[in-house]
Amino acid sequence: MAVNMKGKDIISIHDLSREEIDQILDTAQILKMKKKLGEIYHPLKDKTLGMIFQKSSTRTRVSFEVGMWQLGGYALFLSANDMQLKRGETIADTARNLSRYLDGIMIRTYSHQDVIDLAECSSVPVINGLTDLLHPCQVLSDLFTVKEKRQRLEGLKLAYIGDGNNMAHSLMFGGAKMGMHIVICSPSGFEPDSEITRLSRIDAAQTGANIEIVDDPVQAVQSTDIIYTDVWTSMGMEEEQEERLKTFSQYQVNSSLLEQAGEDVLVMHCLPAHRGEEITDEVIDGPRSIVFDQAENRLHTQKAILALII
């Protein structure tokens, strides 16, 4: 039986049940097929999505805006510079106002608390398009991509190499919910948040998943199905770039590291990529890479989220 997700906020994968995640992934598959077949499907006719961007984006903006249009609705881009938030209007007042105009809100920002506060005061569903803590929409799309390539999620091993950032956190939550073995490999001092690790292990205990934190990339990729990486210096941390380039120099995903993994290993990156830093051209453009399939699937998964909650 389908789970009713109308009006549900998408703030963290930790808040979703496995049934809800399965429904998002199944809906994404259906909507992708409809698009490939040229079918017109407008469940969100006359619906509006407000998109608040305090952090710039390529994939998040385009996938939500195009996705909303393909579903028959309208997406409104709201730059932080154009909103009263920049002049001191509270998140609560912004939520109450936007709820009178819109059918849903997507926000991409720095502070995770801002998303929580927005959702608490909004009468329409709120989608976390990214915060410094979590990136749930990306990982829901990643789960869809892996399932599409491997026909399953349970029992697969994914090794994430890099900073213990918002991507690492959401991969831990996503893998834990779906019964995957997630290995986060970060240098000392750059491990994932301890509370996120604790919560993901609670989820993992319910599904038979395993969450492991290591600091050796070669150890991390042994017998892995997927190698995943992200930029070493996230947006807002530019002043740390020089130090991070030195610290992460041994954490590059390159051909040598791929040789340590299984023959059929897949390579993923949430993009944008800093080629020559966390990943080499020969890997991201090579036969093991599913990076651009992964990017395309942001559209289909975002559409699934929108169709289910609005």
DSSP the chain: -----TT--BS-GGGS-HHHHHHHHHHHHHHHHHHHTT----TTTT-EEEEEESS--SHHHHHHHHHHHHTT-EEEEEEGGGSGGGGT--HHHHHHHHHHH-SEEEEE-S-HHHHHHHHHH-SS-EEEEE-SS--HHHHHHHHHHHHHHHS--TT-EEEEES--SHHHHHHHHHHHHHT-EEEEE--TT-PPPHHHHHHHHHHHHHHT-EEEEES-HHHHTTT-SEEEE--SS-TT-GGGHHHHHHHTGGG-B-HHHHHTS-TT-EEEE-S---BTTTB-HHHHTSTTB-HHHHHHHHHHHHHHHHHHH-
| Fold designation for 13-134+298-309 | Rossmann fold (3.40.50)
Domain 136-295: homologous superfamily in CATH: Aspartate/ornithine carbamoyltransferase (3.40.50.1370)
Indicate the average pLDDT of the chain: 96
Backbone angles phi, psi at 121, to 5 degrees: -105, 0
Does the active-site annotation cover 181? no
- What b-and-e string marks burial along 170-179, b requiring 16 or more CB atoms within 10 Å of the CB? bbbbbbbbbb
Residue ranges per domain, the chain? Answer: 13-134+298-309, 136-295
Cis peptide before 272 (omega within 30 of 0): yes
Single out the catalytic residue among 59, 112, 135, 169. Answer: 135
91 contacts: CB under 8 Å, gap ≥ 6: 85, 114, 117, 118, 121
Give the model's pLDDT for residue 1. 52
Query: Which of the residues 14, 54, 230, 294 is marked catalytic?
Result: 230
Q: What is the 3-state secondary structure (H, E, C) of 187-238?
A: CCCCCCCHHHHHHHHHHHHHHCCEEEEECCHHHHCCCCCEEEECCCCCCCCH
The predicted-structure confidence for 187-243, as pLDDT tens digits, reads as follows: 999 999 999 999 999 999 999 999 999 999 999 999 999 999 999 987 777 778 889
Spans of the chain, pLDDT less than 50: none
Active site residue 87: no
Catalytic residue among 14, 108, 112, 269: 108
What's the predicted TM-score (pTM) here? Answer: 0.96
Q: What is the pLDDT of residue 56?
A: 86
Q: What pLDDT score was predicted for residue 189? A: 95
108 is catalytic: yes
pLDDT, tens only, 52-77: 999 989 999 999 999 999 999 999 99
Structure-token pair, residue 65: 């805006």
185 is an active site residue:
no
Set 142, 270, 300, 302: catalytic member:
270
The answer to whether the 13-134+298-309 and 136-295 domains have the same CATH topology is yes
Catalytic annotation present for 198: no
Catalytic residue among 70, 138, 294, 302: 138
Set 14, 181, 298, 300: catalytic member: 298
Q: What is the pLDDT of residue 234?
A: 78
Per-residue model confidence (pLDDT) at position 86:
56
Residue with structure tokens 């990339």?
A: 217
